[in-house]
Amino acid sequence: MAVFASKLGAPETPRLLAGNDWLCVEMAPPRAGVTHVGADGSSRQVAPAGCPNGLCVDGRGNIWVADTVPPALLKVQMDGSSDTMLTGGDAGPFLLPNDLCFSSSGLLYMTDSGMLMADWVVDGAPRPDWKSAPFDGKLWEIDLDAQTARALDRGLRFANGIAFGPDGRLYVNEMISGEVFAYDVTDGRVTGSRTRFANVLSSDWQGGFRGPDGMCFSTDGRLWCSVYGEGVIAVVSPDGEVLDRLKTQGSAPTNVAFGPDGERRIYITEHELGQIETLEVDAHAYPLFAGQTK
């Protein structure tokens, strides 16, 4: 385990750019916003935001950000300009936009944890009744051209990480229960209801709040899922078995992504220590879809 970038404020969602540079978000002030991290680990702010969580980049270079305060989908440019694109959809306003990914058809899928940030975080920590809190987590399907959002699923207990797998299905995790669910996809659009795929929580856990956060896939179908609180990346087989738990330096990994082709290395954003950590692995990245390109 090595440190790639440090002195970040609650980083989340590492995304690789051309030239081996990175984007991530910093959730904590004074630099809450979208951050550019150079190949040498140096960082600078691209654009401020309230308390951003997930991000992804489309084929036109637009940066799409799930901001939590106030809840919104933002469109950000590398020159620092930012526009609020959506604040809700057919099932009401966004509550806690969390993570984002594009499908092969260019649709944007977003998890919403299902509770306003002000109701979730109390005195800097998850509310004391986090195990039984009334979440209405959702999976949103967003058509950027039409600027519409449709809720495909709801009632999730803190919907969080999201990723498409090599099998063509969309995967979403639920932080409170530790469950990872899969949705069937046809022609780049979710067409099925959720089915259980795996649970990534350790059965002998004696600590406090923990749960799955951001995740990604390797080409061999393994799921790499950060488990916040437990301080591990859970490696899950294509049939849902947890194969390994890779320790991180801090206790609060928030997301994970593969580095450039040929590296066989994962990059992990870590909340507690404010850094991006790297770890050599025996896998190659399953590539992300780029969304709109024209």
Q: pLDDT tier at 206 (50, 70, 90 boundaries)?
A: confident
Mean of the per-residue pLDDT values of the chain:
96
Instruction: Check pLDDT > 70 for residue 293.
Output: no
Domain ranges across the chain = 2-206
| Architecture of the domain made up of 2-206 | 6 Propeller (2.120)
Q: What angle do CA 50, 51, 55 make, to 5 degrees?
A: 110
pLDDT band at 261, cuts 50/70/90? confident
pLDDT in tens, 98-115: 999 999 999 999 999 999
pLDDT of res. 167? 98
Residue type (1 letter), 257: A
Place of tokens 């979208």: 34
Say what the pLDDT of residue 18 is: 86
Q: Is the pLDDT of residue 77 over 90?
A: yes
Mean pLDDT over 205-214 rounds to 94
Higher-pLDDT residue of 29, 293: 29
CB 139 within 8 A of CB 189: no
What percentage of the chain has pLDDT greater than the value 70?
99
Tens of pLDDT, residues 7-22: 999 999 999 998 899 9
Interval 113-158: pLDDT, tens? 999 999 999 998 999 999 999 999 999 999 999 999 999 999 999 9
CB 180 within 8 A of CB 198: yes
Question: What is the layout of strands, in order, in the sheet containing 232-236?
Answer: 211-217, 223-228, 232-236, 242-247
Establish whether the linkage from the previous residue to 30 is cis, with ω within 30° of 0: yes
Per-residue pLDDT, 262: 78
Q: Does the pLDDT at position 1 exceed 90?
A: no
Instruction: For the full predicted model, state whether its pTM sits above 0.85.
Output: yes
Dist CA 210 CA 228 (whole Å): 5
Task: With a cut of 80, say whether residue 294 has pLDDT above it.
Answer: no
Query: What is the arithmetic mean of pLDDT over 191-208?
Result: 94
